[in-house]
Chains A and B, each alone.
Chain A
Amino acid sequence: MSESTAFGPICPLPINDYPQVMMAHGGGGKLMHDLIEKVFVPAFHNPLMDVRHDGAVFGVGNERLAFTTDSYVVKPLFFPGGDIGSLAVTGTVNDLAMCGARPLYLSAGFILEEGMETEKLWRIVQSMSAAADAAGVRLVTGDTKVVDRGKGDEIFINTAGVGVISHGLSICPNSVRPGDAIILSGDIGRHGIAIMAAREGLEFETTIESDCAPLSLPVLDIISSGVEVHCLRDLTRGGLASALVEIAEASGYEINIEEKQIAVREDVQGACEILGFDPMYLANEGRFVAFVPEHQAEMTIDAINSFASDTTATRIGTVSERRSADVTLRSVIGASRIVDMFSGEQLPRIC
């Protein structure tokens, strides 16, 4: 597209590829998926990356380790139920947990904007320390950079983590089998609405708090209770829908879920109705799905529930024998439809 013809002759062709990075490329939906497949995978492609999991799993000597990284750019920095610091620790801990690993050590890289109040930084660091204690990990190395005022959003944090895998299971989308029960660890959508409400100054009758919580303890408990876990995935950006679509695509099997089994708190549902959002696509920071053999479904639910105080795990569906790689949902009124990945960010609608 030449600049001089920006509003000149009418081109009947659609915008094929955005020539620039768009916000939606970071939204956890299809555009991000495309960016990974078209830009990052061709450049870095290797067998560990090809597994397409939350972290890389590899052997060192006699040990199997999991390794992952994530960056945190949340706005506002403090929100009901957490802050960028607690998020930076639990997010990376949870990625390790989804590999079935016991998180051991984290690194933290801080990009600070000139002019940020040190008191805020102090609160964030205290919160990271508390979150690390709660998850049983230690922050052992780090880095700090400061950028000119206006070139950052007060603070960006990157954390990387390593964990050790002390079992023989291969927990990844490829291990998913027909007949597997799909367990959802609790109600969905709280983090997305908590952030949205804090960012936009929306007020509801109750304060909706983020579900931000470390998932390593329930996951390790499921594994140690003898459940043969096939796949785990935490529901972050893109929500439950994107996580299930990714697993269906990676495993090749069709996934069938029941809408009425998916718990959404009344206040979250209400906020979604007002904003025109679908809770299936809202971000979470303390929820995951587990794919386990049918006969161990109850055991898995019990293990998760022994750690959860304000929500309960439910079985939301089953892996089908069909190899369509689709996710289908039976709606509350009994009709069935497919669940798609969202293309970009969810945008609040008109009416």
Chain B
Amino acid sequence: MKFIDEYRDGVASNKFRKAIERITTREWTLMEVCGGQTHSIVKFGIDELLPEKITLVHGPGCPVCVTPLELIDKAIMIASGPKAIFCSFGDMLRVPGSEQDLLMVKANGGDVRIVYSPLDALKIAQENPNKEVVFFAVGFETTAPANAMAVHQAKKLGIRNFSILVSHVLVPPAIEAVLSSPQNRVQAFLAAGHVCTVMGYTEYEPIAKKYNVPIVVTGFEPVDILQGIYMCVKQLEEGRCEVENQYSRSVQKQGNLSAQELIQQVFTVVPRKWRGVGEIPESGLGLTPEYEEFDAEKRFAVAAYTADEPAECISGLVLQGIKKPNECPAFGTRCTPEHPFGATMVSNEGACAAYYRYRRHAAKQHAA
């Protein structure tokens, strides 16, 4: 397939594998930020092909995983209302709240629908004027433009029965949170290609400089990731700390300016709670005063609700790259994709789920 097969090519992968081996002289720990990259790494077995000196740790870039428990509970409260049509991307439906997940709301008669775009939810609102249609606006900078567009359109068209439950988070503050943790062991980052397609990568330059870390904007296919790792290791070995772009077929330095403009018009930077990590200042997006009438938390009066996460789940440590999924005592035994403790076990892109699906052997050996 065009632009897929050539980046899943065994020969090209092998070339980068050998090149990485050739230049690696010391032990290095790299973090891939995005859950999509984690999934690729584990699915294709990329980490198994690397020299022992290179350790990959998995970052906080899975939007499903970092959505805090209380927001899932809020979604469940809103979706359980008799007038609500609650729309979401598919993988949010299985994330457990304190007592239920959205699939259970559906089984109990709630109108919970999977949509592929927030604009589909807007259409549902137009078609159901007597219902309150809520879209679960989850994600990093990648999904923010489409969510901003939906709200912008709703305001323009005067659609009053549409609102969004916002859980937008931002990558750069998460990288800073990882780097400023006293337990940090990450020496270089593979930055998330799709986030940078929207935002560009100038905002990573001060981070690279301040913390002396190489940051390489990287794609999602095996050859992309191996090349991204190669570029990181090369910088580390040469003592450089720069922002480089592996994913140039999609990412431009300035990003997508019209998307950024729309985000700035509709959203403003706010502090956000990250599941398993806690509150990070200036780490997310909320609606600007001009658009706050579309804020589902306000419309359904759930803004004040709070909830704490299960104590046993170590997803916070996993998301910060401090622990690997199979180092959790509950991994694969009490915590499985059918009965997840934390979101990292639910989402396709969650590190725990990726390890469970592709690496249970390693877990068994670890337990033994």
Residues of A whose CB lies within 8 Å of any CB of B are 1, 5-7, 10-16, 18, 20-24, 30-31, 34, 200, 202, 260, 266, 269-270, 273, 275-276, 326, 331-338, 340, 343-344, 347-351
Contact A14 B357, beta carbon cutoff 8 Å: no
Query: Chain B's nearest CB lies how many Å from the CB of A16?
Result: 6
Contact B91 A15, beta carbon cutoff 8 Å: no
Binds A, one of B39-47, B126-134, B258-266: B39-47
- Chain A contacts for B347, CB-based, 8 A: 349
Once A10-B307, A14-B341, A351-B63 are accepted as A-B contacts, the answer to whether A22 and B45 lie under 8 Å apart by CB is no
- Chain B contacts for A11, CB-based, 8 A: 98-99
Contact B98 A332, beta carbon cutoff 8 Å: no
Give the interface centre of A10, A11, A333, A337 by most chain B CB atoms within 10 Å: A333
Bound state CA distance, A347 and B89, in angstroms? 8
Contact A347 B94, beta carbon cutoff 8 Å: yes
Bound state CA distance, A276 and B353, in angstroms? 15
Choose among B222, B312, B361 the residue that contacts A333 (Cβ–Cβ < 8 A).
B222
Known: A1-B99, A350-B138. 8 other contacts (CB 8 A): A7-B98, A333-B45, A334-B14, A337-B44, A347-B94, A348-B116, A350-B139, A351-B194
Residue of A nearest to B98 (CB): A10
Contact B91 A348, beta carbon cutoff 8 Å: yes
Residues of B whose CB lies within 8 Å of any CB of A are 1, 4, 8-10, 13-14, 36, 42-46, 48-49, 63-64, 69, 73, 76-77, 89-94, 96, 98-101, 103-104, 106-108, 114, 116, 138-140, 142-143, 194, 222, 305, 307-308, 310-312, 334-341, 347-349, 356-361
Bound state CA distance, A15 and B98, in angstroms? 9
- Chain B contacts for A332, CB-based, 8 A: 8-10, 44, 222
Contact B77 A7, beta carbon cutoff 8 Å: yes
A-B contacts, 21 listed (Cβ < 8 Å): A5-B99, A6-B100, A7-B305, A11-B98, A14-B310, A14-B334, A15-B96, A15-B99, A22-B104, A270-B4, A273-B4, A331-B222, A332-B222, A333-B14, A337-B44, A344-B94, A349-B91, A349-B347, A350-B63, A351-B63, A351-B194
- Chain B contacts for A344, CB-based, 8 A: 94, 338
Q: Secondary structure at chain A's binding surface: helix, strand, loop or mixed?
A: loop
Choose among A14, A24, A275, A333 the residue that contacts B340 (Cβ–Cβ < 8 A).
A14
Once A13-B310, A14-B96 are accepted as A-B contacts, the answer to whether A22 and B107 lie under 8 Å apart by CB is yes
Contact B308 A335, beta carbon cutoff 8 Å: no
- Chain B contacts for A16, CB-based, 8 A: 339
Bound state CA distance, A336 and B360, in angstroms? 12
- Chain B contacts for A10, CB-based, 8 A: 69, 98, 307-308
- Chain A contacts for B101, CB-based, 8 A: 15
- Chain B contacts for A22, CB-based, 8 A: 103-104, 107
Contact B356 A340, beta carbon cutoff 8 Å: yes
Once A20-B108, A347-B93 are accepted as A-B contacts, the answer to whether A31 and B64 lie under 8 Å apart by CB is no
Residue of A nearest to B12 (CB): A333
- Chain A contacts for B9, CB-based, 8 A: 332-333
Contact A349 B335, beta carbon cutoff 8 Å: no
Once A14-B310, A333-B8 are accepted as A-B contacts, the answer to whether A350 and B13 lie under 8 Å apart by CB is no
Once A6-B100, A14-B341 are accepted as A-B contacts, the answer to whether A351 and B91 lie under 8 Å apart by CB is no
Contact B90 A349, beta carbon cutoff 8 Å: yes
- Chain A contacts for B46, CB-based, 8 A: 333, 335
Choose among B4, B64, B98, B307 the residue that contacts A269 (Cβ–Cβ < 8 A).
B4
Contact B348 A351, beta carbon cutoff 8 Å: no
Query: Chain A's nearest CB lies how many Å from the CB of B366?
Result: 15
Give the interface centre of A1, A15, A18 by most chain B CB atoms within 10 Å: A15
Once A331-B45, A334-B49, A343-B337 are accepted as A-B contacts, the answer to whether A21 and B91 lie under 8 Å apart by CB is no
Contact B359 A348, beta carbon cutoff 8 Å: no
Choose among B143, B312, B338 the residue that contacts A343 (Cβ–Cβ < 8 A).
B338
